[in-house]
Amino acid sequence: MKKTAAAKKAASAHRGASAKQAAAPAKKAASAQKAASAEKATPAKKAAAPAKKATSAKKTASVKKAPAAKKVVVAPKKAAARVKAAPAKAVVHPPGDESRTALVRRARRINRELAEVFPYAHPELDFENPFQLVVATVLSAQTTDLRVNQTTPSLFAKYPTPEDLAAANPEEVEEILRPCGFFRAKTKSVIGLSKALVEEFGGEVPGRLEDLVKLPGVGRKTAFVVLGNAFGRPGITVDTHFQRLVRRWQWTGETDPDKIEAAVGALFPKSDWTDLSHHVIWHGRRICHARKPACGACPIAPLCPAYGEGETDPEKAKKLLKYEKGGFPGQRLKPPQAYLDAGGRPAPPLGAG
């Protein structure tokens, strides 16, 4: 019995050893197969990595690709077709982030340049006293100073004082003012302001802004024209030319006349305001037109961020100049002597061409 049990144990041990020996090669084969699979996968991953990098690089390149830059027109160092103008200095193109100090310097330099180009600049309305100036300025709305200057001689010959115009027959005044356009509304304004002068100010034009703007037809623009040119008190005249140019020059982005007045006034000493208004308005009427600015004949082209909006060819630009800069008569029938001395010509009377 003992021998039989021992024999069984020996047989069982022998079978277990055989099974382990048989299983070992199988495990080794499986392990080798896994290793081979891993080795095959590794080159594939390595091959995929450059492909991903290349795709990523393409995407990055497409994102970073900048649009083609627009062609920038650069102002010449010297503007052609200039009439008695000071030589332009180095080109100055203000950056978008122009500092306040740089803006002030550029604005004042433009005014100095224009003062040399238009040393004879003056109000382009004919007048002999404050009453004539305030009436002429009211009439100049929606028409040219030339047409007003051609109309007021008849008006003031018949109604020389506020008392005379205040007592006038509206229909007779309308007939005189018909060439100015909007003659009914303007008749009402000039008769109304004449009555106000007689009743509230003793027939005299007041010399204060707060009083002037109370008169019929008189706003801040008209008031500053009167204050600056009849009383010698500084003021900025924000007309259509002034508004257009200060925005072109990027002095301000405002569109409201009162805000433009405040923004531009802050760039200059108060003593410069009246002459500044004349310089800007004269430049707008003669060179820097609304639709076709004569960039090629502009004396301040190197300082202008809007250079290139108009004609840049000097010869073509020269043909766009107006009034004395283009060899034509001015707007006043009786201009100052300084204007005549500079080659300016008086305007013809009404009906003379």
Query: Which residues are annotated as catalytic?
Result: 221, 239
Q: How far is 238 from 75, CA to CA, in rounded Å? A: 27
Distance of CA 192 to the CA centre of its chain: 37
Would you list the DSSP string of 244-268?
A: HHHHHTTS----SHHHHHHHHHTTS
Question: Which tokens hold the place of 341?
Answer: 């001395």
- Give the residue among 302, 290, 324 at the shortest CA–CA distance from 119: 324
Sign of torsion, CA 31 34 40 41?
A: negative
Helices 273-286 and 220-230, interaxial angle, to 10°?
A: 110
Measured CA to CA, the distance from residue 290 to residue 295 in angstroms comes to: 12
Answer positive or negative: Cα dihedral of 296, 307, 273, 111. negative
Other Cβ atoms closer than 10 A to 200: 12
Q: Residue 224 in contact with residue 237, Cβ under 8 Å?
A: yes
